[in-house]
Structure 1
């Protein structure tokens, strides 16, 4: 049985072309088309689609507002079909925060010329999410939004409590030389003192996951962080600027020569590759090789850290399709680095972290809401 797709777009041209492209796949069936956000909400109720393709700039009600309303009433996977401009990236990030699961860059030329790459990307993403790539996203229940809010609140409470405990310990005189520095959720090798950088890789679902982690770090976090998120160029710049406004640490899209400093986060630019220079003092941005599928690529950044910093790193692999990060994690592990991966339950797509875990590389498999508290307890 084909998965039911609802197309939301105010352009008759894009409506027609998307219906043609989506309808070419035997596992997908377009069951309706909406021309604005209000109509999208009504048709989502009536047609009960398995997945929705959503534009954002529409009359009467925009795409972001429609996403919020649909996710609050009947949660369903929503993929944004977004402009590749800077403004499009900014609004797309708001849609992801509102509950959309992913986005596809919207390019008139690609749609017009019947691009095979666009077809493949569109089919894969729609089928991937509709076929239960994220089990939680397809639950037909009003409890989903409440559960998401509860997880977010729980994460904030745990982070705040851990900060309070750390502050209390730093202000109080030690009761004995053997008193523990910080409680650990599970037995593990202490990382403080041997890790000089935190490297994070993510793809589908990554913007929300990264925001959850980075916005909860204190300004005095003692290590530099480098982040590789699969995104086009304008999207990484908008993403970095958005995080910088929300976070206490400094966040920017990386440029060649940027120093690796404590409490600073460097985001790999879309369409390029980010490598850590010899000695781990700065980063270098190079053109993306056409032989590499991802630009930026987690494997390339991880490999550069293994080559130039050895095992003095903690690598974290978050939600995402595919297996990018696994080969780089192998290199880091061979040098003695620590590897964490996100668990299946809290991943939007359990691809990248699954590859790392199944290869036996993960020292810890963590729910998203435990990643930041663990970082604070370790460092």
Structure 2
């Protein structure tokens, strides 16, 4: 069985050792290297060519978000971010997701988490899921024309008109007399998928939308705020 090769990126030597050790305990995963910051990661990426990268968000010289942007532009690889549960950490993590990260893990107790074993199984499962991502799809999502920072930038007037026409054509088939409810459930890779779907919905869609996203407490507000800034519909 071919193992999933992983590059572990964190500015803490202790965290690099801890993450590497418990990932190595899984027979499906092989740690092929570690990096101490974003710059070191990019240098090693060219040589090691890992299947998946785990990357800390906050690092010196080149942080996780800026490193992620370079990776997705030059040599896209599935990346799982490790983040603190602070408000700033949550906001940075959502930005990382919009810039190409497949998923993220919240460190249980800050940058240096002695209790990292609590998220061991979750991280392993997300690495396995990330390794199955189609690289071509990763590039497509990264370059998606709807990746932007404000509602005004998300759509031109022409795009708004065309998008509403396309969706409204499909709405004709709905039973106009009954109320509508759209339910969306997501897990790994969900935030990026949600952006890809929700930004294409018109403001006048005649249905309520309920979303279930597997995500730690404290991160959902940042995700909703980000999506609300990108979408024509209101997200909260």
TM over 0.5: yes
2:181 to 191, 197, 208: 197
Change (3 A) 1:150 1:90: closer
Q: What CA distance in whole angstroms lies between the structure 1 residues aligned with 2:224 and 2:76?
A: 28
Q: Distance in 1 between matches of 2:116 and 2:141?
A: 38
Larger radius of gyration: 1
Residue 206 of structure 1 is matched in structure 2 by 190
Cα distance in 2 for residues equivalent to 1:191 and 1:63: 47
Q: CA deviation at 1:249?
A: 2.6
Which residue number in structure 2 is paired with residue 36 of structure 1? Answer: 37
Give the stretch that moved more between structures: 103-112 or 243-252: 103-112
| Larger displacement relative to structure 2 (156-165 or 101-110) | 156-165
Contact in 2 for aligned 1:17/1:111 (Cα 8 Å): no
2:138 and 2:235 mapped to 1: Cα distance?
Answer: 31
Deviates more, 1:10-19 or 1:200-209: 200-209
Structure 1 unmatched runs, 5+: 167-181, 253-379
Can you list the C-alpha shifts for 1:113-139, whole angstroms capped at 9, x where unaligned?
463x42211222212322x2x2x13x6
In the aligned structure 1, how far is the partner of 2:121 from the partner of 2:142? 34
DSSP 3-state at the match of 2:219? helix
Task: State the Cα deviation string for residues 35-89 of structure 1 (Å, max 9, x = none).
Answer: 1111111111111011100101111111011111112222211111111222111
What corresponds to 1:23 in structure 2?
A: 24
Partners of 1:222 and 1:235 lie apart in 2 by 28
CA contact (8 A) 2:85 2:107 kept: yes
Offset at residue 161 of structure 1 (A): 1.4
**Equivalent in the alignment of 1:53:** 54
Secondary structure at 1:103's aligned position in 2? strand
* CA displacement 1:3-43 (0-9 Å, x = unmatched): 21111100122111111111111221211111111111111
Look up the SS of the partner of 2:96 in the other structure. helix
Deviations 1:255-304 (A, max 9, x none): xxxxxxxxxxxxxxxxxxxxxxxxxxxxxxxxxxxxxxxxxxxxxxxxxx
Does 1:129 pair with 2:130?
yes
Higher relative contact order by CA 8 Å / sep ≥ 6: 1 or 2?
Answer: 2
Could you list the runs of 5+ residues in structure 2 that have no partner in the other structure? 147-154
**Where does 1:56-71 land on structure 2 (aligned, <5 Å)?**
56-71=57-72
Q: Is 2:226 the counterpart of 1:247? A: no
- TM-score, normalisation: structure 1: 0.53
Paired with 1:225 and 1:239, the residues of 2 have a C-alpha distance of: 16
Report the Cα distance in structure 2 between the residues aligned to 1:163 and 1:58, rounded to whole angstroms: 42
Is the 1:3–1:28 contact (alpha carbons within 8 Å) kept by the matching residues of 2?
A: yes
- How many residue pairs match? The answer is 225
SS at match of 2:218: helix
Question: CA–CA distance in 2 between the matches of 1:203 and 1:250?
Answer: 21
Normalised to the residue count of structure 2, the TM-score between the two structures is 0.82
Answering whether residue 10 of structure 2 is matched by residue 9 of structure 1, we say: yes
Match of 1:219 among 192, 195, 203: 203
Cα deviation for residue 192 of structure 1 reads 3.2
For 1:68 and 1:191, the matched residues in 2 are separated by: 44
Assess if the C-alpha contact under 8 Å between 2:57 and 2:63 holds in 1: yes
